[in-house]
């Protein structure tokens, strides 16, 4: 093997996978994992650990793979992460752990994500569970939202001995892992449910179908004997463009489209939730969610276009996702932006009016601002439009919690170090604080908040 | 799981169920709704809260079986359970909030309940009655066989006017015609609340605008999550796009774009219709839906 290069990972053939919802990436087998593990230099001051938002002892677990001690490798990871099978699959490793790997200076970084995934999958298949606390410490904490930040915070607190209850609004825990990220990137029954079971096995209770803010409020939870509350309610409120025709039939938010498909399993025979299977679908946006929506629409049988107002280099989606989407046949219409949804006499989408763009000066975010090219408008026929323009936090919790500060973007104001909010005993983290970001950043925030909550409760009971 | 503690057939295809859901029963107020899901393969169906008993921890829902989903849900019996039942969702009716009570007491209110709209109207009228506000109610239905809750409504409203489109019971004509007649006979109303099929609410609003009566409607668009995360239920009110599940379901009826809302409600009609046909015809389904291609 070439020590400068990653051991390649096996994937489903693009032509075949474009027609099914099976997982694209097969992951490493034992031999491949071993070979890849030998590429790790076991650095003393491992930079990869700093690149990981939950600071997994990466060389530590990779050494265990080298020694063929998989169970120990798993325990090393689960000291820091509650959802390794998820993170190994969906983290943008190239800008986190792998982006820091010394191997990456001259060659390719160690495939840390694929190794983490291998260990987590191995543990699941062999019935290995994370280690539980010896006993309860008698303190109760409530967690709002069963997404990545809430599950991580709950898992960490349970390991410290807290009695934790998670309240989840939907009928399934997992948050974006259940409703957002598609099956072909993150299998639901096999991976997501199993990881959530692991969190439960730590003693965490998960109550589904509870909308905090409509049923109990955060203040009521505090009155009911929970000594602290962690808010990990995410950023689930979809944005629309505000262009004419956007209310037409056949225009969906990516959240709706993906929820119907992933959470309600509309793609599967026998499930009752309907989904619009377009012939020609336009997805507006260039993030990971746009890639997920486009690749889902393609699998449901549509010719699918991504329309994005900036260029290829500015696509916010992970390079791997863009690459996968292209391989599967998604058409990219870059430097273009819809100005109107064209509607037929029955109220259905019949096309979009699109204007071409060029890149101007960099804006506040440092990205070059797209500018419309006058007179470049044209019409594209389509029967479905999926808006994937990002999401913002739902005001339901902030508006019903007395004394909880939010900023002008409706995000909860919380300390980056420990998740502390303006309200005593209330902590927050993940997309509810940052606006839409990544799974692993949310987990990192959940982790820090668990530590903050532990310190708060200990100091209060001294 | 959420147990069905009582089931009663109110009229053809109209079924009442009391569901054991203490958390919802503890917090719900008139005007709000719930979302229920029968089992693993079921869809999330928004249903009106028709009544609730905080002590027993039950919530009463009334459903008309219109598609495969509601039909399967309503085929369950007492002792069975629904897998999921979440709520209360949406905002409570402004008329049924303690903080508005003094203002509400000054108003002369008329409700128009069309068809299944009787179910969401009842808890509002009951709440107002319990808080010393008497209101008039017009209950309309296509025909006598589809009427329900007349006695219940009479026990909480000061005047109940029953209408049927075909004249088989009560006033012959639609609810709006009855309202027009009441106003012509000298009745004065400060607020009208119209709840029923969108087409009925639309015509109620056209009339009340002419009569100068501010009107509240309860919108019933397609929903998925019911918590504001998807926008399936979005509608145009005034110049703004609103999500019925979190901003509503009640809105100023004179500002709602009903034509748009009605078109959006049709969005999955073919899919729903297909599912229903396939369910009814079972193995004998040979493509009558015009979509599946039958045995091909």
Q: Give the residue-averaged pLDDT of B91-96.
A: 95
pLDDT value for B291: 44
Helix B258-265 vs helix B198-211: angle between axes, to the nearest 10 degrees? 170
Residues 6+ apart with CB under 8 A from B127: B29, B30, B96
Of B42, B229, B230, the CB nearest to A272: B42
pLDDT value for A355: 97
Residues 6+ apart with CB under 8 A from A101: A47, A48, A51, A109, A110, A112
pLDDT value for A365: 75
Chain A nearest-CA distance from B5, in A, is 19
User: In the structure encoding, which two tokens stand for residue B74, read together?
Assistant: 């309503």
Chain A nearest-CA distance from B272, in A, is 7
Handedness of CA B250, B252, B255, B258 (dihedral sign): positive
Does B267 sit within 8 Å of A215, measured CB to CB?
no
Tens of pLDDT along A179-209?
A: 999 999 999 999 999 999 999 999 999 999 9
Q: List Cα–Cα distances, A99 to A95, A335, B28, in angstroms.
A: 5, 28, 50
Determine what percent of chain B is predicted with pLDDT higher than 70: 91
Task: Give contacts of B20 with chain A, Cβ < 8 Å.
Answer: none
A interface with B, Cβ–Cβ < 8 A, is: 169-171, 179, 208-211, 214-216, 236-238, 240, 242, 246-247, 249-250, 252-253, 255-256, 259-260, 264-265, 270-274, 276, 346-347, 391, 394, 396
Question: For the CA atoms of chain B, what is the radius of gyration?
Answer: 19
Give me the residue label for tokens 């996968």: A324
Task: Give contacts of A169 with chain B, Cβ < 8 Å.
Answer: 86, 225, 227
pLDDT value for A308: 97
Size of interface A-B (CB pairs under 8 A): 113
Nearest chain A residue to B223, by CA:
A256
Whether the per-residue pLDDT at B197 is higher than 50: the answer is yes
pLDDT value for A461: 83
Does A249 sit within 8 Å of B86, measured CB to CB?
no
Query: Where is A378: in which H helix or E strand?
Result: strand A378-381
Whether the per-residue pLDDT at B177 is higher than 60: the answer is yes
Nearest chain A residue to B23, by CA:
A215
* A209: phi then psi, degrees, rounded to nearest 5: 60, 25
Whether the per-residue pLDDT at B272 is higher than 70: the answer is no
| Spatial CA neighbour of B236 closest among A198, A112, A364, A240 | A240
Chain A nearest-CA distance from B185, in A, is 41
Tens of pLDDT along A89-118?
A: 999 999 999 999 999 999 999 999 999 999
Mean pLDDT by 10 residues, chain A (462 residues): 92 95 96 97 95 95 96 94 93 93 95 97 93 92 97 96 97 96 95 94 96 94 96 95 95 97 94 91 97 97 96 91 96 97 94 96 82 96 96 90 93 95 96 93 95 96 80
Does A170 sit within 8 Å of B225, measured CB to CB?
yes
Diameter of chain A measured on Cα atoms: 70
| Band of pLDDT at residue B282, cut at 50, 70 and 90 | low
Does A396 sit within 8 Å of B227, measured CB to CB?
yes
Tens of pLDDT along B147-171?
A: 999 999 999 999 999 999 999 999 9
Neighbours of A377 (CB within 10 A): 14
pLDDT value for B267: 85
Helix B198-211 vs helix B175-184: angle between axes, to the nearest 10 degrees? 20
Chain A nearest-CA distance from B52, in A, is 14
User: In the structure encoding, which two tokens stand for residue A63, read together?
Assistant: 């050494």
Does A394 sit within 8 Å of B228, measured CB to CB?
yes
| Band of pLDDT at residue B293, cut at 50, 70 and 90 | very low
Answer with the residue of higher pLDDT: B69 or A13: A13
Answer with the residue of higher pLDDT: B111 or A396: B111
Whether the per-residue pLDDT at B262 is higher than 70: the answer is yes
Does B266 sit within 8 Å of A347, measured CB to CB?
yes
Task: Give the integer Cα–Cα distance in Å for A410 and A389.
Answer: 17
Strands (E), A227-321: 228-231, 237-238, 251-253, 280-284, 303-308
Helix A148-159 vs helix A439-460: angle between axes, to the nearest 10 degrees? 40
Whether the per-residue pLDDT at B273 is higher than 70: the answer is no
Task: Give the integer Cα–Cα distance in Å for B132 and A425.
Answer: 41
For every residue of A283-295, DSSP letters joined together read EE--SHHHHHHHH
Whether the per-residue pLDDT at B277 is higher than 60: the answer is no
Q: List Cα–Cα distances, A388 to A232, A287, B14, B75, B147, in angstroms.
A: 22, 8, 39, 38, 45
Answer with the residue of higher pLDDT: A374 or B276: A374
Predicted model pTM: 0.93
Whether the per-residue pLDDT at B295 is higher than 50: the answer is no
For every residue of A178-205, DSSP letters joined together read HHTS-TTTS-IIIIIHHHHHHHHHTT-E
Chain A nearest-CA distance from B199, in A, is 16
Chain B nearest-CA distance from A134, in A, is 31
Q: Are B126 and B151 in contact (CB under 8 A)?
A: no
Neighbours of A74 (CB within 10 A): 23
Q: List Cα–Cα distances, B198 to B37, B115, B203, B269, in angstroms.
A: 24, 11, 9, 15
First and final CA of chain A: distance in angstroms?
58
Q: List Cα–Cα distances, A313 to A306, A319, A335, B265, in angstroms.
A: 14, 10, 11, 40
Task: Give the integer Cα–Cα distance in Å for B156 and B160.
Answer: 9
Tens of pLDDT along A226-236?
A: 999 999 999 99
Handedness of CA A96, A98, A102, A106 (dihedral sign): negative
Task: Give contacts of B89 with chain A, Cβ < 8 Å.
Answer: 211, 214
B38-42, B211-215, B262-266: range with lowest mean pLDDT:
B262-266
Query: Where is B47: in which H helix or E strand?
Result: strand B45-53
- Peptide linkage before A454 cis (omega within 30 of 0): no
pLDDT value for B289: 43
Query: Where is A354: in which H helix or E strand?
Result: strand A349-362
pLDDT value for B268: 80
Does A273 sit within 8 Å of B43, measured CB to CB?
yes
Diameter of chain B measured on Cα atoms: 66
| Spatial CA neighbour of B91 closest among A209, A234, A402, A399 | A399
Strands (E), A98-162: 140-144
Task: Give the rounded distance of the alpha carbon of A286 from its chain centre.
Answer: 15
Does A276 sit within 8 Å of B23, measured CB to CB?
no
Residues 6+ apart with CB under 8 A from A242: B241
pLDDT value for A412: 96
First and final CA of chain B: distance in angstroms?
40
Neighbours of A29 (CB within 10 A): 10
Whether the per-residue pLDDT at B274 is higher than 60: the answer is no
Of B86, B230, B267, the CB nearest to A169: B86
Question: For the CA atoms of chain A, what is the radius of gyration?
Answer: 23
Q: Are A149 and A429 in contact (CB under 8 A)?
A: yes
Task: Give contacts of B22 with chain A, Cβ < 8 Å.
Answer: none
| Band of pLDDT at residue B280, cut at 50, 70 and 90 | low
Whether the per-residue pLDDT at B292 is higher than 50: the answer is no
User: In the structure encoding, which two tokens stand for residue A267, read together?
Assistant: 């793609």
pLDDT value for A277: 86
Q: Are B133 and B109 in contact (CB under 8 A)?
A: yes
Nearest chain A residue to B272, by CA:
A274
| Spatial CA neighbour of A141 closest among A121, A171, A161, A125 | A161
| Spatial CA neighbour of A334 closest among A387, A283, A264, A392 | A283
């Amino acid at each position: 093997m070439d020590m400068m290069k990653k051991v390649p990972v096996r994937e489903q053939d693009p032509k075949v996978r474009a027609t099914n919802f099976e997982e694209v990436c097969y992951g490493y087998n034992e031999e491949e994992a071993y070979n890849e593990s030998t590429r790790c230099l076991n650095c003393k001051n491992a930079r990869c650990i700093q690149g990981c938002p939950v600071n997994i002892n990466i060389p530590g677990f990779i050494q265990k793979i080298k020694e063929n001690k998989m169970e120990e490798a798993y325990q090393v990871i689960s000291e820091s992460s509650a959802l390794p099978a998820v993170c190994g699959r969906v983290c943008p490793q190239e800008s986190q752990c792998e982006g820091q790997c010394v191997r990456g200076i001259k060659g390719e970084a160690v495939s840390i994500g694929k190794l983490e995934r291998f260990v987590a999958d191995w543990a699941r298949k062999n019935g290995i569970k994370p280690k539980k606390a010896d006993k309860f410490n008698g303190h109760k904490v409530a967690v709002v939202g069963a997404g990545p930040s809430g599950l991580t915070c709950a898992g960490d607190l349970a390991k410290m001995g807290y009695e934790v209850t998670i309240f989840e609004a939907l009928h399934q825990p997992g948050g974006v892992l259940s409703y957002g990220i598609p099956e072909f990137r993150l299998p639901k029954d096999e991976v997501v449910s199993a990881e959530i079971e692991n969190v439960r096995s730590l003693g965490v209770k998960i109550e589904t179908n509870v909308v905090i803010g409509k049923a109990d409020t955060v203040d009521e939870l505090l009155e009911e004997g929970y000594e602290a509350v962690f808010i990990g309610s995410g950023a689930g409120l979809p944005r629309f463009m505000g262009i004419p025709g956007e209310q037409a039939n056949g225009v969906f938010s990516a959240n709706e489209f993906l929820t119907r498909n992933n959470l309600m399993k509309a793609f599967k025979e026998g499930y009752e939730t309907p989904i619009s299977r377009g012939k020609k679908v336009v997805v507006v946006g260039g993030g990971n969610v746009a890639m997920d929506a486009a690749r889902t629409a393609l699998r449901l049988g549509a010719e699918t276009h991504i329309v994005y107002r900036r260029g290829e280099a500015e696509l916010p989606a992970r390079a791997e996702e863009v690459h996968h989407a292209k391989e599967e046949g998604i058409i990219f219409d870059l430097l273009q932006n819809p100005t109107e949804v064209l509607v037929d006499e029955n109220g259905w989408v019949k096309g979009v009016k699109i204007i071409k763009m060029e890149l101007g000066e960099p804006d506040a975010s440092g990205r070059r601002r797209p500018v419309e090219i006058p007179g470049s408008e044209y019409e594209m026929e389509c029967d479905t439009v999926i808006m994937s323009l990002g999401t913002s936090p739902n005001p339901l919790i902030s508006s019903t919690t007395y004394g909880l500060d939010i900023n002008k973007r409706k995000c909860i104001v919380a300390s980056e170090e420990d998740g502390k909010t303006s309200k005593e005993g209330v902590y927050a983290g993940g997309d509810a604080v940052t606006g839409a970001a990544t799974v692993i950043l949310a987990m990192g925030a959940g982790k820090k908040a668990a530590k903050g909550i532990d310190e708060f409760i200990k100091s209060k009971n001294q | 799981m959420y147990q069905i503690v009582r089931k009663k057939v109110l009229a053809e295809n109209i079924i009442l169920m009391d569901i054991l859901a203490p958390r919802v029963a503890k917090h719900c107020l008139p005007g709000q709704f719930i979302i229920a899901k029968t089992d693993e393969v079921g869809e999330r169906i928004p249903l009106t809260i028709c009544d609730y008993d905080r002590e027993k921890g039950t919530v009463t829902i009334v459903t008309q079986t219109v598609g495969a989903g509601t039909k399967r849900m309503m085929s369950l019996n007492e002792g069975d359970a629904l897998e999921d039942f979440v709520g209360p969702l949406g905002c409570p009716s402004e008329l049924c909030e303690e903080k508005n009570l003094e203002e509400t007491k000054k108003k002369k209110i008329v409700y128009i309940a069309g068809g299944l709209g009787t179910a969401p109207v009842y808890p509002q009228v009951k709440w107002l009655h319990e808080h010393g506000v008497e209101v008039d109610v017009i209950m309309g239905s296509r025909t006598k066989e589809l009427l329900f809750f007349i006695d219940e409504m009479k026990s909480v409203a000061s005047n109940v006017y029953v209408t049927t489109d075909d004249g088989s019971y009560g006033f012959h004509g639609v609810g709006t015609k009855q309202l027009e007649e009441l106003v012509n006979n000298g009745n004065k109303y400060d607020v009208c609340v119209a709840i029923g099929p969108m087409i009925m609410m639309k015509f109620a609003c056209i009339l009340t605008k002419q009569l100068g009566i501010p009107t509240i409607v309860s919108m019933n668009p397609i929903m998925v999550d019911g918590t504001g995360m998807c926008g399936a239920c979005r509608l145009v009110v005034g110049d703004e796009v609103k999500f019925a599940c979190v901003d509503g379901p009640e809105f100023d009826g004179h500002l709602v774009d009903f034509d748009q809302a009605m078109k959006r409600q049709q969005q999955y009609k073919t899919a729903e219709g297909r599912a229903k046909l396939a369910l009814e015809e079972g193995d004998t389904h040979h493509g009558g839906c015009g979509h599946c291609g039958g045995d091909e």
